Amino acid sequence: MMPENELLKYEGKFEVGDLIRAFDCKPRPERYPDEFIEGVVTEEAVTVRSMGDALCMVVDVKHDSLRNRVGSSAYVPLELGCDYDGRVIHVSPRSTLTRKW
């Protein structure tokens, strides 16, 4: 059980208006291409009942490697049981990693 005052892995690291990339699965060479969304954070921390009361960021999806979530809102959990460093990253709007929207 997590102590009351301990933050979740990605809690407080992103703000409304930040452009982020959130991976669906940990990137691995044998699972190329990587699956992820890129979008703008619209809410920092909401409880999502359909995800077991997980605390999530709400993201307005601007790019989707699978191409089926663009224009929708997505929930990005602030921590997973199998979490890893780099699951959610800040992306600069001028990054060469992002595509033109």
Q: What is the pLDDT of residues 42-87, one digit of tens each?
A: 999 999 999 899 999 999 999 999 888 999 999 999 999 989 999 9
**Burial (CB count within 10 angstroms: exposed 0-12, middle 13-18, buried 19+), residue 65:** middle
Q: What is the structure's pLDDT at 93?
A: 54
- For the entire predicted model, the pTM comes to 0.81
Q: Which residues contact 33 (CB under 8 A, 6 or more apart)?
A: 65
Q: What is the structure's pLDDT at 61?
A: 95
CA atoms within 13 A on the CB side of 6: 6
